[in-house]
Every structure is written in structure tokens, then in C-alpha cells.
Amino acid sequence: TPTRKGGTLPLHGAHTAFSCYPALRLYRLSKSPRGIDVVSLTLGNSWGLIGRNGAGKSTLLKLICGILSPYKGNVSVHGTIAPLIELGAGLDSRLTAVENIFLNGALLGHSKKYMKEHFSEIIDFADLGNFLDMPIKNYSSGMRARLGFSIATTVCPDILVVDEVLSVGDATFRKKCEQRMEKMLSSGTTLLFVSHSEREIERLCKNALWLDHGEIVMSGPSEDVCFAYSETLKSNAAEKALTSAISDHLPRLTVVGAGYVGLVTAAAFASMGYSVICTDTDTKKIKILQEHGCPFFEPQLEELLNYHSKRLRFTSDASQAYREPDVVILSVGTPESPDGSANLHYIYQALQDICDHIDYETTIIIKSTVPPGTSEKIKEFLQKNSKPSAYFHVVSNPEFLSQGSAVRDIFSASRIIIGTESKEDAAFMERLYKPFHLPIVSVSRASAEMIKYASNGFLALKISYINEIANLCEQTGADIQEVVLGMGKDPRIGFRFLRAGIGYGGACFPKDTKALRRLAVSNGGDFLTIKAAIDANTRQQLKLIEKARKYYKCFHGLTVTFLGITFKPNTDDLRGAPSLSCATVLLNEGAKLKIWDPLGAPQFRQLMGNAVELHESIENALCDSDLCMIFTEWKEICNLDPQIFQCRMKMPIVLDGRNCFELSDMYDRQIYYDSIGRKAIIPDNNTSFHQEHSDNIA
């Protein structure tokens, strides 16, 4: 049962209760193909319901309020509800005035006397009149929402349900409504708000549900849900315009590779109306996709794949994948070779499959990261190995997606790079990308390939540079955050990629910087700045180990907690993560590791073995630890009360590799707090630490 300070709003039997829309599947909250039995919305938060007409928003609200006969008994809601929902004149006889304060339209035709008889105990009519800026009397239908909202917000219920109320009245009244809603939220009221405007939802609500024909397509932070919803509306409009403008069929696409780049690319083109087949040799991955899952975590991706599933197919059968594509997009991995160069084995494996199955004119788009000159070699390979009737156009089209924001990146890219050797190929690519409405930069194939390496290399340089500055700040007494503030104001520099930490990781920067340097060496030179960035990043990834040795002579027998282990938040990817390097050192020296991470913990155990303990809560992970290392700036970590370190740890030594906390939050606490590029916070006197660890104090 919830309280005003928190709790949940359970909707028991939601799948059954929503039987007027039998397609309801809350697959974002459950893997069950039949939907789920319980949905929980956290009280004290604001939830916006968004969707087109007929999406089922109002119906779901009425179910929650228990006022849609005959389903009232199937939905269990705890707390006082004020539902502002259009039901016509008259009060619902099943609802008391105290439990359900006001229904939009309930006072139509009722007198002031009737209102006072039913609501005088819970409504301050003087305050209500002041809020309305007019006397209380009978109102026409155009005033019902204003009056209903005024009464409900005066009462300040546990749960306020608002269905399009802010669509009436002038701007001044709507502003007053918003201000009162904000005040109610601050006091613990839960808001369930329906609007056709994603901007209004994003402005007023912390979280959002996107509905379509009774199905919850997506749930989560309102910013992410509203972005996905608006982009889908735009893509649907683009699809209609594109379909009507082209008399022939849209090009059929086959995307090779079901990794981050391949799946995001496939989903994005499907959202624009294209028919897409995605193929991969990993049969387990394909099976997950065929069952409407996603083989890895990427925000909004699973929802996008499922929403456009009618235009998406997944297969590991090459004969199916290459039966009839007009365009083949290569998005396979190019991992690092032992010498640092890009391994193109998977590229040529896919090209051989293409040659074996396609016997007509086709465009091959190279989206994988490959060294300059690779597209020309691919062209030669295809000419040598293809069937006589086949002809292949080869285009370079590098991607610039960031893990954790890849879906947003592909729809709002700063530019689309197209590398071709003919005007015809360039024109074809511009038509292919026309629905995205993004800037296009058309260059040669070799230049397009170099742009990818040059961009990633420069960003890696920027990260390593600011980390080196941060290290110097620690030695000189400067504060890296103040330094970045002064640097970033310069428009020639900017703020992006100037966040000091423990180095870059992931699938791209580590391998691309090494491949770029190897490319320079193989051409008779060297790349000294990139070499310096690589070396600096290797050292920086062990920065927390270096700091830990200031507190302990050795790690044998220590219990060390890792908070966050992925290379960045909003991903489960551990490739190149600094946590792996540090874990190896600690385990080799006899430390015990306790891990908390919302996504990456199971994979971490697979890599590091059963010597690590996985914990579902930060509190348990910190319990009785001698040392805490923060590797990832997950919001759960950034929102922690620092007192938890002092209360839960045996020795509250916190080494923050991502500067998750302000230094001011650590003053006047018995916590050792050592971050990146800032002065360390050392308690004035901690005799217990010195007594307990006298043999191991550095």
C-alpha cells in the first residue's frame, strides 16, 4: 500500500482487464508473450500517456480509476484518486466524493447548492473562486475541465488523473494549472497525464507511456519516450510521402550484422518505410530477435525493433538474406588484429556470401569501420568473385553512433557521410537517406573511410588530453571542473569530450586509434599524437589502482566494491572497460571483489570468474568493504546520499573515477573521497582506520 512518500500503484490483471484492447502487451516490462499480470507505476512520480487518437490512453486511465464498467474489479488501485476524465453529466454512483473527488463533466447541470452539499467538507470554495478568477456557478461544457481541475488540485489527492484538461482555457489559466500541478508533485502526488503533445508530456512529466491501439509500445523517461514517439510520427509521414512520390517499389535492404550498428541501422530504415532483412551468422542472436527480443541492451532499440516488426525480418540463412535485396549494408565487426590493424575477415566472409547468391545489379554499402582504400579492394574482390550477370556499386557510408544513445544518434545525426566514385551512386544514396532529412556530405570512398578514423582519433585525443590535464591539476592544486568551465566557453574548443575520468573504452575508440596508428606505420610513417593518446589511456585506466596504493600497501585480504563496471552508462558493454583492467590487478593480488552494475554484472562474472560477488543493491555491495571504486556514472550512483559510504563500509575510502559527486557533498564527513583532477577529501582524524589497518597503511 503506497504512502505519500512513495510506493507503487499496482494494476492487477492488466492484460485481462484491458480486454477492449486484447492486443495489450507490456513487453518492455516483461518477456512474457501474453503480457503481464502486474504493472507498477512508482508513486510520487509523474507519468504522461502519449499516443494518437484511438491509442487507448483514456481507456487505460478509466481502468485505473475503476470507472469503466464492467472492468472495475480487475484493476486494484491504492490511494485517493481525483480523475479528471470526460464521462458526461452526473456523478458515478459507485464513487464517493472523498475517494473520487471530481469527474470532468460531473457538475454540468448541477447547482452551486448541490456542489456545496457534496463537496463543502473537502473544498475551500473561496480558494477555488480565487483560482478560477470568477464566481462559482453553472458552467457550459467549455468550462468543465477548468472547474474540475481546480477542485481536484485544491483537494491535493494521492493520485491525480488528467485527461486533456490543459487543452482548454487561455494561456494564463494553463500556466496556473501547471504551477499547481508542480506544487502537488513536490508534495508527493502522483500525476497520470494524457496529452497529444509530446512537448507538453516532456515538460510536465518525468516518465511516459507510449500507447498505440491498446498496446504499450514503450515506457521510461519522458525525454526518451517522447523523442521516439515524435521520430516515429515523422518517419510515418516520411514513409507516406516517399511511397506516394515513387511509382516503383522502395529499395529492399539486407543488413549484414546484428550488432549495435546493424540492428540500429535496420530498425531506422524500417521506421522510414523500407523492407529490411537483417542477417547474422550467430543463430542464438537471430533466435532472440525472431522472438521480439534484443540480444543486448541499447535504450529504445527493442521498442523500435518491435514497433516496426512488420517491415523487419531476421535470418541466419544466406539464401534467404540475399534472395532479392537492392541494397546490402555491411555492418559486421572489424576487430583489432594482434598488430593493431583492423581485421577484415568478417567483411570478406560476407562478401563471399554476396558473390555466391546475388546475380544482378546491387549496391553494397560499407558501414563497418575499415581503413582508407578498403572499398577499392572490395570492388576488386567483387569483380573477381561475382557471377557474370552481377554488378556491384560500392559505397562507403561510415556510422557515428554512440552506445547508449545510438537510436537518438541515427535520427538526429549531425551529418551523413557518403563516399562514392560516381555521381549516379551519390544521387542514389541521397535518395536512400532522403526520409531522414539529415545533412549529407558527399566525398570520395577513401575520404569517407578516413573521416571515420580521423573523427574517432580526434575524440580519443581530446579525452586523453583532458585526463592528462586532470592529472596535472591534482599535482598543482587546480580543479579540473573549473579548468573545463574556462576551456569549454571557448567556441573553438567546446565542452563535449572534456569530462575527465579514467579513460575511454568501448568497441570503437580503443581499436580505431590502434588501427589508425598502424595505418600510418604501414605507410612508412608514425602517428605520434595518437600513440601518445593510446599510451595515456592505458595508464589512465589504472588510475584508481594508483590511487588505492596511497591508502593500502597491498590489496591481499581487502574487500573492494566496484560501483558500475561498463565503459559508460546506458549500455551493458564491457569491451575496453577500465573496470576489467583494475579487477585483474586486484584479484591477482588477493583482493575480494563485490560488484554492482544494473546491466553488466553477469557478463563481468563470465569474464572474471566466480571470484567476484554480484549484488543487486548498492547498499549490499558496499557492506563491510575496505575500498570502493566507481567506474561508471550511472544515475543510481550519482543520486546516492554520500552518507551511505560512511554507514555501510568498514572503511569509507571512495575512489571516484567519474567525478560523480561534488566535493562540497563530502566535506564534514568521515569519508576519504579521491576523484579525478580534484583535491582529495581526507577526514581530519580517523583513528579507527589507523588502528584497524596499521599493518597495511601506505
Distance CA 645, CA 649 (A): 6
Predicted local distance difference test score (pLDDT) of residue 690: 56
How far lies 549's CA from each of 225, 387, 480, 542, 697, in Å? Answer: 44, 63, 22, 11, 9
The sign of the dihedral angle between the CA atoms of 461, 467, 471, 477 is positive
DSSP string, 130-173: HHHTS------GGGHHHHHHHHHHHH--SEEEEESGGGSS-HHH
| Entry pTM | 0.70
Give the per-residue SS3 of 298-323. CCCHHHHHHHCHHHEEEECCHHHHCC
Give the angle subtended at the CA of 164 by the CAs of 159 and 169, to the nearest 5°: 110
Are 622 and 645 contacting, i.e. CB atoms less than 8 angstroms apart? yes
Sequence-ordered alpha helix ranges (H) in 388-444: 406-411, 423-432
| Rounded CA separation 582/578 (Å) | 6
Do 256 and 316 form a contact (C-beta atoms < 8 A)?
A: no
**For residue 116, what pLDDT is reported?**
54
The CA distance from 479 to 476, in Å, is 9
DSSP per position, 26-38: -TTT---TT--SE
Q: Could you tell me the mean pLDDT of each successive run of 10 residues in the chain, 698 residues long?
A: 30 28 25 35 68 67 49 43 44 41 37 51 45 43 53 62 59 70 73 76 81 74 84 68 53 96 96 94 96 92 90 95 96 94 96 96 96 96 95 97 92 95 95 93 97 97 97 97 96 95 94 95 94 97 97 96 96 95 96 96 91 94 97 95 95 97 92 96 70 62
616 membership: H or E segment, kind and range = none
Closest CA to 635 of 647, 618, 622: 618
* pLDDT confidence of residue 184: 73
Contacts of 479 (CB under 8 A, 6+ apart): 473, 677, 678, 679
Per-residue pLDDT at 333 = 94
The pLDDT, as a whole number, for residue 61 is 63
Rounded (10°) angle between helices 480-488 and 445-476:
140
Q: Known catalytic residue: 508? A: yes
Q: Under 8 Å CB-to-CB from 195, ≥6 apart: which residues?
A: 48, 49, 50, 164, 166, 167, 201
In DSSP terms, 11 is beta-bridged to 39
What is the structure's pLDDT at 85?
47
State the DSSP H helix or E strand holding residue 2, giving kind and residue range, or none if neither. Answer: none
Q: Distance (Å, rounded) from C-alpha 354 to C-alpha 395?
A: 15
CB 196 within 8 A of CB 229: no
* Cα 121 to Cα 100: distance, rounded to the nearest angstrom: 14
| Active-site pick, 508, 582, 628, 660 | 508
Cell 488528467 maps to which residue? 162
- The answer to whether 328 and 365 are in contact (CB under 8 A) is yes
Amino acid letter, 482: E
70 cis-preceded (ω within 30 degrees of 0): yes
Give strand pairing partners of 191. Answer: 46, 160
Per-residue confidence (pLDDT) for residue 687, from 0 to 100: 54
